[in-house]
Chain A
Amino acid sequence: MAVIPALLVQGVQMALVLLLAPLLTGLTRKVKARLQRRQGPSVIQPYRDLKRLLHKDVVLAENASWLFRVAPYVIFAVTWVAAALVPTFATGLLFSWSGDLIAITALLGSARFAQALAAMDIGTSFGGIGASREVMIASLAEPAMLMIALSVALIAGSTQLSTIADYMAFSAVGLRVTLALGLVALVIVALAENARIPVDNPATHLELTMVHEAMVLEYSGRHLAMIELAASLKLLLYVSVIACIFFPFGLAHGYVIGLIAYLLKLAVAGVLLGVFEVSIAKMRVFRVPNFLGAALMLALLGVLLRFVSEGM
C-alpha cells in the first residue's frame, strides 16, 4: 500500500505551501525596501503580523452578516487547496488529479467571489469600489489564465499540472513562441491577481486607488489574518504555477532536489518581483483593462500560433 506515504507527501506539500507563503511575501517586501534604500522589515515580519492579528479582537461592523464571518475561512481554505494542487517539489502527488489547472483557476475564482461578496456585505462605498474593481480585473485576468491553460495544454496534451510539468521537464519542447507568449501573459495575470504593482498596490493607503485593500477594509483580527494568509498563499501559488510550467527543473529528481530547486525558484521569484515592483509605477485603474487585455490577447495569440510553431 503506497497510499500512506503518498498521503504523507501530499500532507507535506500542504504544510509546505502554508509555511512558505508568508516568507515569500516577506522576502518581496524586504527586496523592495532595500531597493528603495530602506531598511525594511524582517523577512519573517509577515509571520509576526499574522500572530499579532490572531491575538487581536475582532471588531465587526454592526450589520455584518454570517457571510462576512464565514468568508475568510472559505477564502483561506479554497486558496490553500488550490495551492496544494500545484506541484511544488514533486509531481504526481496523490490528489493532484482531483483538479487540473482549470479547476485551480476556478478555485481561485471561488475565493475571489467570496471576497467580493464579503466586501459588499457591510454596505460601505469602499467595499463596493473594491469589489467592483476586483471583478472587473478578474473578468479579464481569468479568461487570460484559461487561455494560458489552453495553450499550455495544447502543447503538453493535458491540463493536469503534474502531467504538464513532466512533459515540460522531459520532452524536447524547445523554445516556442507559444510558450514565450504564455509566460508573459501568465506573469501579467499573476501580477493582477495578486494585487501587485502596476495593477494594484499591496501597500497603498490611498483609498481611491485601492482594489484588494478596499475589499478587506472592514476586516480585523483573526479574520484579517486568514485573508492575509490566503493572499500570501495565492502569490506562492502563482509563482509555483509559473515555476512548474516554465521552469520544471528538479521536479523529477527526487523530493530533496525538488525541494531545494523549489526554494531556489521561490527566492528568485521573490527577488524578481521586488525588483519589478520598484521599477514600475502603478497604473490608473482604467488602464488596467488594456494591460490585462494585452495578456488575454497574448494568450490567445499563443494558442493560435501554436499551429505555426508546430508546423516548423
Chain B
Amino acid sequence: MIALPLGCIVLLMTLALVGAVVARTASGGRIVYGGSLAISLALLLIALLSIGGGSSTVTLPLGLPWIGARFQLDPLAAFFLVVVGLGSAGASYYALGYGRHEPEPQRVLPFYPAFLAGLTLVVVAADAFSFLFAWELMSLASWALVMSHDREPGNANAGFVYIVMASFSGLALLLCFGLLAGATGDFSFAAMQAAHPSPGIAALALVLALIGAGSKAGVVPLHAWLPLAHPAAPSHVSALMSGVMTKVAVYGFIRIVFDLLGAPTWWGGVIVLAVGGITAVLGVLYALMEHDLKRLLAYHTVENIGIIFIGLGLALAFGANLLPAAAALALTAALFHVFNHSVFKSLLFFGSGAVLTATGERDMDHLGGLIHRMPKTAFAFLIGCIAISALPPLNGFVSEWLTFQAILLHPDLPQWGLKLAIPADGALLALSAALAAACFVKAFGVTFLGRARTRVAADAREVDGYSTNAMFVFAALCLLAGIFPGAVIDLLAPVTQALTGAHMPKQLDVAWLSIVPVETARSSYNGLLVLVFVTISASLGVLAIHRFASHALRRAPAWDCGFPDPRPQTQYTAGSFAQPIRRVYGAVVFRAHDTVTMPPPGATAPASIEKHIADPIWDALYAPIAAAVWWMSQALNHLQFLTIRRYLGFVFAALVILLLALALWQ
C-alpha cells in the first residue's frame, strides 16, 4: 500500500514542476488545482482503504545512504493521510474557483503541489531524516506561499517570523531525533522503537518533541507565527496550513511521543496537559481581541490545538498508569478533534477567502450584512461557526464531549498531580469552549449580520460555484461527523489499538447509533437523535404557529428602543462586541484598558475612545529575544570596523592564549 502514496507524492512533485511552467498561462490554475484535486482524492481513497490494514513499509535508496529513505503506512499514518487527503482535496477544489482571483499565479502554482507533497511525505516518512526532510520541505513550500502576496505590508514580517519559527521547530525535532537515535546514527523509526530510552532521555525527548512539533502546531507560547502567516497566505493555503499542516505537526508529536518513545510517564502527561490547557484558553482569548477575520481564525487554530493536546495529555496520563482503555478514549477524542478541526477550519478559511474575494477586506469592522449578499457563503460559514463552537449536533461537540468523558475517568489515576491537573484542565477546556462560542458569535455576527459598514461590503457578490460547493461539502461533513460519530470512532480503533494497546468499544453496533465511550449507564450521546428531536420539535413549533397564530408580517424600520440610528457605524463592531470580555479577561491577560477622552461640557469636540491591548507573550518572549539578538549584533558589529592592527591583535591574542594554554596544560 505504501507505494501508492509515494506515487502520489511523485506526481505532486511533477505537478509542482508543471506548475512552474504553466503558471503564467490561462489554464495554469486549472491544471495545477485539478491535478492536485485528483491526486488528493486518490490519497484520501488510499488512506481510507488502508487505515484498517496492517502497516506496510518500503526502503528507497535515497536520503541517508546507510539507512535509506524509509516509508511506512500504518494505521496512524493512514488516519493522518485521511486528514491530509481530505483537506487538500477540499482546498484544491476550492482553489479551482478562488485561484482565479490570484493576481500573480506564478507565485502560488509551483509551490502549492510541493506543499501538498511535503504534507503527505511527513506522514509516511519512517526515518528521522526523511521525516525532517519532509517537515522542512513542508515549511519551505508553505513559506513561499505565505510570501506569495509579498507586496502587502506586513507580509514580509509574517514570512520572516514564520520561517524562523519553522526552522526552530525543525531544529528542536532534530535534537529530539538525535537523542532518540543515539550516537550510533541509526535514524530509522524502527530502530528508535526498539531502543528503549532511559527515563531522562525520554523526558528530554518529550519536551523537545513538544517544543518542535508544538511550535509547528501552534502551541502557546510558540504560536506567534500562526496569526501572522495564516492571514498572509492565499485563503486555500491558509485552510491547508491551519486545517492540515498543524495536524501534521500533531502527527509528528504523536509519532514521537506515543510510538517512538515507548512507555509514557505520568508527569509527561502533566506537561502536555498544562500546555494544552493554557493554549486552548489563551488561543481563544487572543481570538476574541481580534478584528481581522483570518487572524481570528488563526488564533482559533491555536485554541483547537490546545484542545487536541489536552486529549493527548490525558492519553499519556492514562497510558502511563496502564489504563489502556481510558488512554484509547482520550486519544480517540484527540484524533477525532484533529479530524473535526481540519474539516471546520478549512471550511471557515474557505468562507473567509470567499469574503476576501467578494469584498477585498479581512477586517470585520469594514464588513457586515453579508448574509444578504452572500447567502450561500453565510450559511456554510454559519455551519462552520456552530461546529467550531462545539455545539450539538455538529462534530465539534462530539470530540470535546469525548474529551470530557476522558477527563471524567481521572479518579482512576493514582498521582495527585494528575488528580489536580486534570480537573483544572477540564475547567480550561470548558472555558475555551464557551469563549469560542462567544468569539464566533462575534465573527459571524459582525461579518455577516447587521448592516454593511462599507461600500465594498454593500456591493459584495456571492462567489463562484467551486468555492461555495467546497464549503457546502465541508459543512455537510461537519454535520455527518456530528450525527454519525460512531463511524469515525470505529475508524480510529486500529490507530488507538496500535498506539495504546486498546480501542474504544465498537460504536456502530450500539443501538440507535449512539456513542458510548465506556458503558451506557455512564454516559452516552446520540447526535442523530438530538438532531431528529430538534427537527421534530421545531417542526411542531412551526406547525403550531401555522395552525394557531397570525401569519401577518410587516416590514418596518428597526425599532431600537425608539431611536434608531441610520448610520451603520453605530453598530457593534468586533472591538465593541468583545469589550465586556476584554474587560473581564483582557484586563489581566492583555493589560487591556480603554481610554475615554471626553470633551468638557459645552465643547463641540468629539469624544474619543482608545483601546490598548498588549500581547503578553510577544512582549515577554519574542520581543526580548529579538531585542537581545539585535543588541548582540550591534555590540559585535563594531568588529567590522577595526583597523588591520587590531585584527592582527586578535590573531596575536589567539596565538598567545593557545600557547599559554598548551604550556600550562603540558
Asked whether A and B interact, the reply is yes
Instruction: List chain A positions with a Cβ less than 8 A from chain B.
Output: 14, 54-63, 65-67, 73-74, 76-78, 80-81, 84, 95, 97-100, 102-103, 106-107, 109-110, 112-113, 116-117, 119-129, 131-133, 135-136, 138-143, 146-147, 150, 153-154, 157-160, 163, 207, 217-218, 221-222, 225-226, 285-286, 289, 296, 299-300, 303-304, 307
User: In the complex, how many angstroms separate the beta carbon of B341 from the nearest chain A beta carbon?
Assistant: 17
- A55 partner, pick from B438, B450, B550, beta carbons under 8 A: B550
Q: For chain B, what secondary structure do more than half of its interface residues adopt (helix, strand, loop), or is it mixed? A: helix
- The CA of A269 and the CA of B512, in the complex, are separated in Å by 36
Pick from B419, B525, B554 the residue with the most CB of A within 10 Å.
B525
Contact, CB under 8 Å: A124 / B525 = no
Contact, CB under 8 Å: A135 / B525 = no
Contact, CB under 8 Å: B560 / A126 = yes
Residue of A nearest to B408 (CB): A153
Contact, CB under 8 Å: B548 / A54 = yes
- 7 tightest Cβ-Cβ pairs between the two chains A and B: A128-B572, A123-B450, A120-B445, A135-B438, A77-B538, A143-B430, A136-B580
A150-B407, A160-B521 known; A76+B369 contact, CB < 8 A: no
- The CA of A299 and the CA of B427, in the complex, are separated in Å by 9
- The CA of A116 and the CA of B571, in the complex, are separated in Å by 14
Assess whether B56 is interfacial by the CB under 8 Å rule: no
Contact, CB under 8 Å: A128 / B571 = yes
Residue of B nearest to A147 (CB): B427
Q: For chain A, what secondary structure do more than half of its interface residues adopt (helix, strand, loop), or is it mixed? A: helix
Contact, CB under 8 Å: A102 / B401 = yes
Tell me the B389-447 residues at the A interface (CB within 8 Å): 389-392, 397, 401, 404-405, 407-408, 411, 419-420, 423-424, 426-427, 430-431, 433-435, 437-438, 440-442, 444-446
- The CA of A217 and the CA of B433, in the complex, are separated in Å by 27
- A150 partner, pick from B408, B420, B522, B538, beta carbons under 8 A: B408
Contact, CB under 8 Å: A150 / B438 = no
Contact, CB under 8 Å: B549 / A54 = yes
Contacts of B401 in A (CB 8 A): 102-103, 106
Contact, CB under 8 Å: A117 / B433 = no
Contact, CB under 8 Å: A136 / B561 = no
- The CA of A78 and the CA of B451, in the complex, are separated in Å by 28
Residue of B nearest to A290 (CB): B584
Contact, CB under 8 Å: A63 / B392 = no
Assess whether B578 is interfacial by the CB under 8 Å rule: yes
- A113 partner, pick from B404, B437, B512, beta carbons under 8 A: B437
Contact, CB under 8 Å: B560 / A124 = yes
Contacts of B583 in A (CB 8 A): 286
Residue of B nearest to A122 (CB): B558
User: In the complex, how many angstroms separate the beta carbon of B407 from the nearest chain A beta carbon?
Assistant: 7
User: In the complex, how many angstroms separate the beta carbon of B125 from the nearest chain A beta carbon?
Assistant: 38
Contacts of B369 in A (CB 8 A): 63, 123
Q: Could you list 6 A-B pairs, sorted by A, with CB under 8 Å? A: A125-B565, A142-B433, A150-B408, A150-B423, A222-B545, A304-B420
Contacts of A289 in B (CB 8 A): 584
Contacts of B649 in A (CB 8 A): none
Tell me the B541-593 residues at the A interface (CB within 8 Å): 541-542, 545, 548-550, 552-561, 564-565, 568, 570-572, 576-581, 583-584
Residue of B nearest to A130 (CB): B572
Contact, CB under 8 Å: A76 / B514 = no
Contact, CB under 8 Å: B559 / A98 = no
User: In the complex, how many angstroms separate the beta carbon of B152 from the nearest chain A beta carbon?
Assistant: 30
- The CA of A49 and the CA of B458, in the complex, are separated in Å by 39
Assess whether B386 is interfacial by the CB under 8 Å rule: yes
